[in-house]
Structure 1
Amino acid sequence: MATLVEIVPYDLNWPRHFSTISSELRQLLGNKVVAIDHIGSTSVPGLSAKPLIDIDITLNGLADIPAASAALIEAGYDPRGNRYGDDVWAFLHSGSTRKQRVYLCPPDNETHRRRLAFRDYLRNHKDVADAYAHLKERLAKQFPYDGDRYTAEKSSFISNVVERARSVANGAIDSEQVGEG
């Protein structure tokens, strides 16, 4: 059964939910965890989003993925696999009041780095975050029961923002900083 792509206004409780979930995950996975990062739209203040907390967990290495996966499954997370062949394993937990999607990542993972670059750029560029919100709302209306298509249609926007973020990080002049955005 297809699931509705639902976009809701920003919820001031999302950072608190992330903090609670992060503590639970750190306790569950112990010394396998290097870092736990709030990613996705719920991590950007003021941005509308699907009511789902997205979390990247960086582990010590690929060797920790099987044990961490087993612990998440035991805790009620539904495994979603490594869909893109990028060494990132996804899990969904929708049985609680705080719906969450968790990704297990090895260190120095490119997908994880892209997610952080995108998140940080949106946090620092409200006009780009607003454009992203409008895109998501339009796509949710256009593909209300096709989450894969909704996600695919955002990919070009996301890639462009990640490239802009990397240009800024590498010292290039950001056109928005000089009034050309």
Structure 2
Amino acid sequence: MRTITIEPHNPHWFDAYEKEQVKLKDVLSDEVLSVHHIGSTSVPGLAAKPVIDILLEIKSLERLDNYNTILQQLGYTPRGENGISGRRYFIKGGDSRTHHIHAFESGSIHITRHLAFRDYLRRHTDIAQQYAAIKFKAAESCDHDSAIYCQLKSEFIHLHEKMAFEALALNVDQSLDAQGC
């Protein structure tokens, strides 16, 4: 059974991401368009489960499925969509997880959603600290049940994803205004 623990931010998480993304780019070079560090471990100062979340922007989900064996050789277990349509999800480390891969085709709204939320938390350290408090409380209350843990965070995430999208639209509108469009 997985244990859900939240740890203070660890600068090593950035190094762990960097090492893994190099491996992934190497073996998926024909399919991957970009690789991003997402999730709480990607936000400086934010407490997190010590699991590195990696977002792959890829050309084709169908072609990515052909790489399952190669990813298994790197220690990843394919989980298909795992509850999110248009995603390929992989875990590394079994019950002692170290990495998650979330792969989406280029143009997916899920890419924008993940990056907008990450960047929003990076810009708003006060909101990131509120999120950390919610995560600590959720970890204490969930009895190591991942579904309950996620449910206890969902209201906060949905509210701030919406705010992140609103901020993103404002920034896009401002840059268009600045260009005279």
Query: Taking structure 1 as the reference length, what is the TM-score of the superposition?
Result: 0.87
**Alpha-carbon distance between aligned partners in 2 of 1:152 and 1:98, rounded to the nearest angstrom:** 20
Q: What secondary structure, in the 3-state scheme, does the structure 1 residue paired with 2:57 have?
A: strand
2:90 paired with 1:91: yes
Correspondence for 1:40? 39
Q: Deviations over 1:22-45 (max 9, x none)?
A: 001101111211010000000000
**Alpha-carbon distance between aligned partners in 1 of 2:16 and 2:116, rounded to the nearest angstrom:** 22
Q: Which moved more, 1:26-35 or 1:98-107?
A: 98-107
Considering only aligned residues, what root-mean-square deviation do their CA atoms show, in Å? 1.8
Q: Which moved more, 1:82-91 or 1:125-134?
A: 82-91
**Alpha-carbon distance between aligned partners in 2 of 1:58 and 1:140, rounded to the nearest angstrom:** 30
Correspondence for 1:118? 117
**Alpha-carbon distance between aligned partners in 1 of 2:73 and 2:15, rounded to the nearest angstrom:** 24
* Number of residue pairs matched by the alignment: 170
Kindly report which structure 2 residues correspond to 1:30-109, keeping only aligned pairs within 5 A, or say none: 30-94=29-93, 99-109=98-108
Correspondence for 2:129? 130
Measured after TM superposition, the shift of residue 117 of structure 1 is 0.8
Residue 33 of structure 1 aligns with an amino acid whose one-letter code is: V
Measured after TM superposition, the shift of residue 169 of structure 1 is 1.6
Give the gaps of 5 or more residues in structure 1: 173-181
Q: Percent identity?
A: 32
Q: Which aligned runs of 4 or more in structure 1 are off by greater than 6 angstroms? A: none
Residue 167 of structure 1 aligns with an amino acid whose one-letter code is: E
Measured after TM superposition, the shift of residue 152 of structure 1 is 1.9
Give the gaps of 5 or more residues in structure 2: 172-181
Q: Closer, same or farther in 2 for the Cα pair 1:21/1:169, shift >3 Å? A: same
2:141 paired with 1:142: yes
